[in-house]
Structure 1
Amino acid sequence: MTLSIGELADEIFGTDVPFQVHAYDGSTGGNRDAGISFELKSERGLRYLVTAPGELGLARAYVQGDLEVVGVDPGDPYELLVRVKDRMGARIPDPRRIPDLVRSLGARMFVPPELPALEHPPGWRRLAEGIRHSKERDAKAISHHYDVSNAFYEHVLGPSMAYTCAVYPRVDATLEEAQEEKFDLVARKLDLRPGMRLLDVGCGWGGMVRHAVKHYGVRAIGVTLSREQAAFGQQWLAAEGLNRLGEVRHGDYRDITESDFDAVSSIGLTEHIGIKNYPGYFAFLSERLVDGGRLLNHCITRPNRHFTRLERGGFINRYVFPDGELAPVGVIINAMADQGFEVRHAEDFREHYARTCRAWAKNLSANWDAAVAESDAATARVWGLYLAGSSIGFERNEIQLHQVLGQKVAAGGQALYPLRPDFGS
């Protein structure tokens, strides 16, 4: 007995799923009252689904245009992901039906198609790019994600060009207000004052450098591996007359030779350096600081030790952050302490990051045509999935965002720090 694709979908997923299936062979399956339809356009799309069951196969077919989702905003597929996140697991078929399922698919369906151009291959196939977290391989990974187009990022991030978790001072605060508050909170935790020297590692488009120079009168150096970001940041500082005190460099943070900084901010970089490299990373930052200087580390974290690396075969690792690794906040705190930092304060902002990702997805949706024109439809689809899925992850405490404030203490234990610090605005 040979089954149609629609019948195969019913056998594997059932008919109570939150979507309907329309296949290229003319058959239908799934829930006919769902209001959302998966349109499977080609044999290649089915091969993606069969050879990589789950999120990766779906992502491949969707990114390539072999799977269209009707009734869902591609820039903000949040509601779709909420509905299907817990319902995409395949049922265990009746063993007696397996021969019919395999026969209906045919041997060709079990041969994987070529990977989409946007997908990074597994780590073992990337050895030619260098050792994991070497300067060369990190540069390629960062370029893959950040050198899309500055205009593309403006459509998604908005005028702040801040691609890290915002801090919402009020429930009704705008994204721009929340990003301004984030930068200012970092500045307050670092106790920045006029004349101080700030190093911002992984500085992105220079938002923290700009804020610190403009509002706190410090001398600031930012460094980023993205050439596009560095050029944008330097132009931004020059346009506002801030380049006398502020600089955004293109390069690796490990190439910074200056020292005696009063403060270091690391906003969204720790995710990229690798857990095994934490000791060297925090030792390097400690060496850049004066005694009593402060480090503010702001990064995505895991809620526990069960998951540290971004899943190697998962969508985020393959399409968004190749080589990315996340650790629980305790691992970061211990690594900082082992390198001479006294940890003074730690704070979780995961609900704020859920809001931030939702705001970015709404920007992408509102600017969809322009974003596609600046990149391509496949890239824009990846971003829609990524932002919506990340928001859900933060909401469900699958991932977190921590700020950890450390201070480099002098050999005798002296460190100027208030008895009860006030980080209020």
Structure 2
Amino acid sequence: MALASIFEKIVGRDANVAFMAYDGSKAGPDGADVRLEVKSPIAVAYLAQAPGELGLARAYVSGHIDVHGDMYTLLDRMWNITTNDLSLSEKMDAVRSLGVKPLLMRVPPPPQEMRQSTLARLGSRHAKQRDAEAIHHHYDVSNRFYEWVLGPSMAYTCAVFPHEESSLEEAQFAKFDLVARKLGLKPGMRLLDVGCGWGGMVMHAAREYGVKVLGVTLSKQQADWARRAIADAGLQDLAEVRHMDYRDVREGDFDAVSSIGLTEHIGAANVPGYFSFLYGKLKPGGRLLNHCITRPTGKEKTFNKGGFINRYVFPDGELESVGWLVRQMEDIGFEIRHEENLREHYAQTLKYWCDNLDANWEDAVQEVGMGTARVWALYMAGCIVGFERNKVQLHQVLGVKLDPTGNAHVPLRPSRDWP
């Protein structure tokens, strides 16, 4: 069987994708607007040794496969393989089609792949040193690179779009403001923002609500960038960002806690302790807003250690269902006052990020290298498809620490609607 035809079989004959290979073979419809080019035997070796999602990702990241056309369109059309991977029987069929020789080639994974052995040397899952390395792997890429991808807000979490035509910056402002309103922020209050990133929520709460805010992040590059931004904005009297593990925060009696995009890094075994820690940091009547990516139900695997996302993007990342997370919050003592799913908003956010990366592609490649830029192109486009197809969701959950009399200190209805 010709090489291009083998790749077509693996990806799917109904995907409306054209294939061409270094042996001169072609497959798929002639008029397809997306083409996959197999450039060298190393691509075949990657696929033979890891049929499905991981093998294709390795070949693309390392430059032995090229995509001609829109990455999102490609991944949307080959959804079953990029998200659900192949069954064991399908993998065996792929290996038989590719032959024995590619299995014998020694081809190490691209350097962008985080090896499990590397993480294992740093302790058990979600030990402090191991968490720090996992965060460093993803977030300490380059602040300049993130500026190009994320835009001026430097917000690397789901935005909230007030209208279909809202810009990314408008939507990120709306997200931070939604969090602030759900937390009931007022001048003079104290807010703890865990996993604060580049300080977007920290600065929004200080600038727009007169709140004194402490933000913490495990990324040194994020902390350095946030401190400069706070100084440039003249918010030093209200806003502070520290490079530290949230578990090392000693202050307490906060009026509110925001956790925007951190829970995914905690790990299921540590979630009860995580919510217990945040509960202990709040004064009675204090509120927690937890904003995180979730699984759509409790039936899916919590994480795939061997998959592309876990190896290249979020090492040790784990997703849980919103129902499970709510139960953990309730068992700790939080009363749940509001919950909403924003998954369509995350798909739209990612589209903006993909457009930004495309617009700055040459600069991005020069800054972080072709392999890392390709990781981002692949991961963000794949995530758009995931949110659109309800394979992942984004939930905000608002919990309150009741006072000793059972008072939640929450109005009967919010003074302004929560969109």
Give the TM-score normalised by the residue count of structure 2. 0.93
For structure 1, the 5+ residue unaligned runs are: none
Alignment-derived partner of residue 43 in structure 1: 41
Which residue of 334, 341, 348 maps to 2:341?
Answer: 348
Return the offset for 1:84.
Answer: 2.0
The 2-side partners of 1:66 and 1:6 are apart by 14
Return the offset for 1:109.
Answer: 3.2
The 2-side partners of 1:109 and 1:275 are apart by 36
1:66 pairs with 2:64:
yes
1:121 pairs with 2:115:
yes
Which residue of 218, 222, 226 maps to 1:229?
Answer: 222
Alignment-derived partner of residue 30 in structure 2: 32
Question: CA distance change for structure 1 residues 147 and 11 in 2, over 3 Å: closer, same or farther?
Answer: closer
Question: CA distance change for structure 1 residues 42 and 279 in 2, over 3 Å: closer, same or farther?
Answer: same
Alignment-derived partner of residue 386 in structure 2: 393
Deviates more, 1:330-339 or 1:9-18: 9-18
The 2-side partners of 1:394 and 1:375 are apart by 27
Which residue of 103, 127, 146 maps to 1:134?
Answer: 127
Query: Alpha-carbon deviations, 1:164-219, whole Å to 9, x = none?
Result: 00001111110000000000010000000000000000000000000000010011
Alignment-derived partner of residue 80 in structure 1: 74
Letter paired with 1:351: E
Aligned pairs for 1:237-248 (under 5 A) are 237-248=230-241
1:185 pairs with 2:178:
yes
The 1-side partners of 2:271 and 2:97 are apart by 51
The 2-side partners of 1:168 and 1:83 are apart by 26
Query: Alpha-carbon deviations, 1:132-156, whole Å to 9, x = none?
Result: 0010000000000000000100100
Question: CA distance change for structure 1 residues 345 and 102 in 2, over 3 Å: closer, same or farther?
Answer: closer
Task: Provide the secondary structure at the position in 2 that maps to 1:290.
Answer: strand
Task: Provide the secondary structure at the position in 2 that maps to 1:343.
Answer: strand
Query: Alpha-carbon deviations, 1:350-393, whole Å to 9, x = none?
Result: 01111001111111111111111210111111111111111111
2:196 touches 2:217 (CA, 8 Å); kept in 1?
yes
Question: CA distance change for structure 1 residues 308 and 247 in 2, over 3 Å: closer, same or farther?
Answer: farther
2:192 touches 2:254 (CA, 8 Å); kept in 1?
yes
Which residue of 107, 111, 116 maps to 2:101?
Answer: 107
Task: Provide the secondary structure at the position in 2 that maps to 1:248.
Answer: strand
Alignment-derived partner of residue 55 in structure 2: 57
The 2-side partners of 1:39 and 1:158 are apart by 32
Query: Alpha-carbon deviations, 1:118-145, whole Å to 9, x = none?
Result: 11224x6631021100100000000000
Return the offset for 1:110.
Answer: 5.0
Question: CA distance change for structure 1 residues 167 and 10 in 2, over 3 Å: closer, same or farther?
Answer: closer
Query: Alpha-carbon deviations, 1:328-347, whole Å to 9, x = none?
Result: 11111111111111111101
The 2-side partners of 1:43 and 1:129 are apart by 35
Aligned residues: 415
Return the offset for 1:90.
Answer: 7.3
The 1-side partners of 2:305 and 2:371 are apart by 21
The 2-side partners of 1:11 and 1:189 are apart by 50
Letter paired with 1:85: W
The 2-side partners of 1:312 and 1:393 are apart by 18
2:48 touches 2:102 (CA, 8 Å); kept in 1?
no
Task: Provide the secondary structure at the position in 2 that maps to 1:258.
Answer: coil
2:47 touches 2:55 (CA, 8 Å); kept in 1?
yes
The 2-side partners of 1:418 and 1:358 are apart by 37
The 1-side partners of 2:88 and 2:304 are apart by 24
Q: How big is the alpha-carbon RMSD for the aligned residues of Structure 1 and Structure 2?
A: 2.3
Alignment-derived partner of residue 414 in structure 1: 407
Alignment-derived partner of residue 147 in structure 1: 140
Alignment-derived partner of residue 205 in structure 1: 198
Percent identical among aligned pairs is 55
2:44 touches 2:98 (CA, 8 Å); kept in 1?
no
Question: CA distance change for structure 1 residues 262 and 29 in 2, over 3 Å: closer, same or farther?
Answer: same
1:367 pairs with 2:360:
yes
The 1-side partners of 2:2 and 2:273 are apart by 56
Alignment-derived partner of residue 17 in structure 2: 19
Alignment-derived partner of residue 166 in structure 1: 159
Letter paired with 1:191: G
1:13 touches 1:90 (CA, 8 Å); kept in 2?
no
1:17 touches 1:87 (CA, 8 Å); kept in 2?
no
2:158 touches 2:345 (CA, 8 Å); kept in 1?
yes
Return the offset for 1:300.
Answer: 0.5
